[in-house]
Amino acid sequence: MNPIIRVENLGKLYQLGAHQHGAYKTLRETITAAFAAPWKSVRGNTVSNGHVRIEQDEAGAPSSIWALQDVSFEVRPGEVVGIIGRNGAGKSTLLKLLSRITEPTRGRIELRGRVGSLLEVGTGFHPELTGRENIYLNGAILGMSREEIDRKFDEIVAFSEVEDFLNTPVKRYSSGMYVRLAFAVAAHLDPETLVVDEVLAVGDAGFQKKCLGKMGDVARHGRTILLVSHNMGAIRGLCTRCLWIDAGRLVDDGAPERVVARYIESVFAKGFGEVRSKTNPASPLHITGILLKDDQGNSTIEFRPGDSLTVEIHYAAARRIEQPHFWIGFESQYGPMFAANMLIDGHCPAYIEGEGVLSCRIEHLPLLPQTFTVTLGVRGKDCVTELIAGVEAGFFHVGGKMLEHGFHGHFAERVAAKASPMILPYVWNLPGGRTEKVLGFQARGEAP
């Protein structure tokens, strides 16, 4: 089967600081620069980054950057390809190139069939037009005929859940309403290839689940999907293949389980710099490290159903902070699962000062084998002031086989990987007065 997408030695170069001094160049300056350009390499204004030459300005600072370098891969019809990587790795740049929004600096892209893309909230929308008018406008931009839009109009509106605001200018829409309408149009384009960036993070948990379900339906009809996401659970649950991009290069390409595991390990190996960088610089509290530990106190991201998990938070307080309220959230591909939250339980420290450590232990994880996200936040004594907004603190993976925990269903392994990720004790009352207790996950060494 011929590939529907073929990418060969793809590279994209962006110029930096073109107007960083706040002034435009005159015609004379432009002409002078053009004559001077051939001599820049003689004056040493070009440096080498492996085989890539990066231009520098007069002060020696880089004037351009390669967002992508030598990326090559093929995608077969019907594949669902997840694209993962840290912020700034080049994921969105790749999707823009595949969507023909921008041209590559070098390399080539071959695309077969119609491509539907949703890369930014409200892309192709006019703020002064109503939702109804923008459905037709956006559909036309994506390549749909008027007859096709007419035929699918009611379905698009029902999916977007904006019926009551259909005749309202979209400039009055919330970001969530924007993305619902934009995704609804793109998803009903029936393209051979659907390209979706992390805009789904804008929607609420219910709509995210609905979008994931729609993409699953598109995939089951033989369409090809490219999905950029930081939700490792969604990547593992929806995708048949995963690409990991780092610093503009393709690091790994293969089965989602393996690629996601490698990526998560690299994130933990590099520490939690992103958590600190997202903290308000004016906040008196900063997170200096976060560790996930098992029963033996070892740092790990690999757990099994029923294990205990300890989240250890290292912090530095610039001054004495009275009654800080920490919270730790656990999320799956379906959204928030459960949390340890001092705002609810009231067990906050009287104060913190200087450097210290705070931890929370979750006994007997009631979680099925999947990948989960840990989020973190801290509020002040008034329970309103945010010292640290909710930020993604890391990932952990629950693995293992269900047969090891007393579950003997014929499809236990297959269902556990894609079902609702939590299982709690329950009881079956069966015909004939028979009662069966399902105790959930047992402590180590405890008989089921």
Within the chain, which residues score under 50 in pLDDT?
19-23, 37-54, 271-274, 276-277, 448
Domain residue ranges of the chain, discontinuous segments joined by +? 17-62, 77-268, 272-398
- Quick one: pLDDT at residue 26? 57
Beta-carbon neighbour count of residue 329 at 10 Å? 18
Burial class (CB in 10 A: 0-12, 13-18, 19+), 90: buried
Q: Please report which residue ranges of 55-171 form alpha helices under DSSP H.
A: 91-98, 131-141, 146-160
- Quick one: pLDDT at residue 382? 92
Integer Cα distance of 290 and 275 in angstroms: 9
Three-class DSSP category at 423: coil
Model confidence over 402-446: pLDDT tens digits? 777 777 777 777 777 667 778 777 778 777 887 877 766 655 555
CATH, domain range 77-268: 3.40.50.300
- Quick one: pLDDT at residue 44? 36
User: If residue 117 lies in a helix (H) or strand (E), which one and from where to where?
Assistant: strand 115-118
Integer Cα distance of 276 and 288 in angstroms: 7
Beta-carbon neighbour count of residue 378 at 10 Å? 25
- Quick one: pLDDT at residue 141? 77
- Going by C-beta distance under 8 Å and a sequence separation of 6 or more, which residues neighbour residue 15? 63, 64
- Quick one: pLDDT at residue 380? 92
Beta-carbon neighbour count of residue 79 at 10 Å? 19
Residue with tokens 């933990």: 268
> Which CATH number applies to 272-398: 2.70.50.60, 3.40.50.2300, 2.60.40.10, 1.10.3720.10?
2.70.50.60
Q: What is the phi-psi region of residue 107: left when phi exceeds 0, alpha when psi lies from -120 to 50, beta otherwise? A: left
- Quick one: pLDDT at residue 272? 47
Model confidence over 167-183: pLDDT tens digits? 899 888 877 787 778 87
- Quick one: pLDDT at residue 173? 83
Integer Cα distance of 286 and 277 in angstroms: 9
